[in-house]
Amino acid sequence: MIPKKLIIAEDTINDIVEESNRHENVETGGLLFGKIIGECIIILKIIHSSTNAKRTHVYFEMDEDFAINITKQMEKNNLAYLGNWHKHLGYGGPSNGDDKQAELFLIQNSHKRNYLSLIIDFYNNDYNLIATNYSFDEDEFIKKDIQIQQIINIQELNKIFKRKKLNIRNFIDNLSKNLEDHTGKTFIHSQSNKSQSYKLFYEEIYDLQNSESKTKNKIVYSVFIKFPYLNISMTDKISIGVTLDHKLTRIVEEIQFSDIFFNIVELLPKLKNIFDKSQYYIKILLHSDNKKENSDFKNRIKIIKVIFRTLKSIYIQYSFKAKAKNVT
């Protein structure tokens, strides 16, 4: 699907304007990162070029090593490289050189289906934003200007995509790779056929020989991220937590999926924090949650016994009255 709309927050535009003003009489630019959802390109992060970039009155060239390193970092945070932004000094949209650069990028990176060029063109103390999407349809190179939708801040995306459903299998695949890079632990995929929920989890065996607990010496401790289903909405919530021996589960936090998808809340540090506090969570599950479960169970038994006694009493009274009536 070819994108037809660019979504960009006002504070991002202000950041581009400020960077452009820092290089008043020359071109400058940077990299664009974010997501492509359906017909929308969403800019979630911009990176300004390094001091090693070449800036002239009619020409701007990115520092290639800088761009490669930054792109690798952003992709670890689940943000895709979308293209570049750069400044023009009153001569409009993309030049022939910009077109050639986009075409070469798509040829050299055949896994990429789109390349975004965002130009901020300054004239008469004002500026104009021009967004152009480049793509290939079979062997035909396509260049098309796309609509720009400005939003106040990234939180507005929740409203825009309130009813948007998407298949997150690719997102989960990328996330599991990033989790392994970030924590050094391999997460396993699990899918429930009944509830259609999807889970990433890491299991580890803990030796409780030195623990005060009177349970068996070894237990399985699991850290998980649970998605409600694959066709998830941006407003749905995912849960992260821990499970002990596949029986006792503690939800540490519930997070709206859009906050993860748009990188507003970073999931990786939250999971690392769970691993760092693993002994604490094991203790909580072994002691506090067990006591609570036992207490809840005993209370339920008490209630059942009271109900049974009441029903039994009513039945006896009814039977006694019925017999008395028959005797009379």
Which fold does the domain 5-160 belong to in CATH?
A: Cytidine Deaminase; domain 2 (3.40.140)
One-letter amino acid identity for 290?
A: N
DSSP state of 309: H
H helix or E strand, kind and range, residue 84: strand 80-88
Look at residue 328 and tell me whether its pLDDT is greater than 70.
no
Look at residues 156, 137, 135, 155 and name the one whose alpha carbon lies nearest to residue 146.
Answer: 135
pLDDT band at 225 (very low <50, low <70, confident <90, very high): very high
Q: Cα separation of 250 and 95, whole Å?
A: 57
pLDDT band at 145 (very low <50, low <70, confident <90, very high): very high
- For residues 46 and 16, the answer to whether their CB atoms sit within 8 Å is yes
Look at residue 142 and tell me whether its pLDDT is greater than 80.
yes
pTM: 0.67
The residue ranges of every structural domain in the chain are 5-160, 166-284
pLDDT at site 305 = 59
Proportion of the chain above pLDDT 70, given as a percent:
84
Taking each helix axis from N to C end, the angle separating 169-183 and 267-276, rounded to the nearest 10 degrees, works out to: 50
Residue-wise pLDDT for 45-74, tens only, equals 999 987 788 999 888 888 888 999 999 988
Q: Which long-range contacts (CB under 8 A, 24 or more apart) does 121-127 make?
A: 121/87, 121/88, 121/89, 121/90, 121/91, 121/92, 121/93, 122/20, 122/87, 122/88, 122/89, 122/90, 123/90, 127/17, 127/20
Q: Cα separation of 191 and 304, whole Å?
A: 36
